[in-house]
Amino acid sequence: MLDFIYLLQFFRANNSIHPLFSGGRAMSGATGNATPSSGPKTVGRWLKDRREKKKEENRTHNAQLHAAISVAAVAAAVAAVTAATAATSAATKDEKMAMSVASAATLVAAQCVEAAEAMGAERDHLASVVSSAVNVRSHDDITTLTAAAATGKVYYCYYEEFHDHIYTKNF
């Protein structure tokens, strides 16, 4: 069915169905993207190009989605660390600053999570990644999350019960 829709789009774009019945090729001016040496695009080539373009669009969307999830994980980890630091800070002017920063970090993390959901992230997957990010225990954990988000690599972070750091596994 999808190929039929693509065929209709092809014929509308080229304003001609005649070459299919006559056995000839369309005029090079009709396709608008033909070169003198290659001739006009065939329907098969046009369909293949459409499929490849769709695959590339899906790859790009998935990369953007995973980047949004990685940034949400970093934001959640920063929010957790700042909240823990604010809770243990002395009752001074620094405590108010720490609480303000923790509140701002939590807001940023919440917005990152919403953005990832709006892009199509599965709620269970996002909850798992954020949950593991909130449980960071060392500077190495935050460095790992930050590096994963900065390099654009897709990482799934999880905790092992018997270890003190986050392991990363490529999807």
Among 85-89, 92-96, 141-145, 163-167, the range scoring the smallest mean pLDDT is 163-167
Place of tokens 């999570």: 113
Has residue 51 been placed in a domain?
A: no
Tally the domains of the chain.
1
Has residue 119 been placed in a domain?
A: yes
Question: What pLDDT, in 10s, does the model give residues 4-38?
Answer: 666 667 666 765 555 555 555 544 444 455 455 56
Has residue 21 been placed in a domain?
A: no
Has residue 84 been placed in a domain?
A: yes
pLDDT above 60 for 170: no
For residue 162, the model assigns a pLDDT of: 35
Q: Look up the pTM and report it.
A: 0.64
Has residue 24 been placed in a domain?
A: no
Give the long-range contacts of residues 158-167, CB within 8 A, separation 24 or more.
Answer: 158/128, 158/132, 159/132, 159/135, 164/137, 164/138, 165/137, 165/138, 165/140, 165/141, 166/132, 166/136, 166/140, 166/141
For 83, 85, 98, 151, the CA distances from 102, given in Å and listed in that order, are 5, 8, 6, 26
Q: In whole angstroms, what separates CA 145 from the centre of its chain?
A: 16
List Cβ neighbours of 16 (8 Å cut-off, separation of 6 or more).
26, 27, 30
For 14, 78, 89, 120, the CA distances from 96, given in Å and listed in that order, are 67, 17, 9, 37
Domain limits for position 67: 61-170
Has residue 131 been placed in a domain?
A: yes
For residue 89, the model assigns a pLDDT of: 73
Has residue 17 been placed in a domain?
A: no
For residue 69, the model assigns a pLDDT of: 93
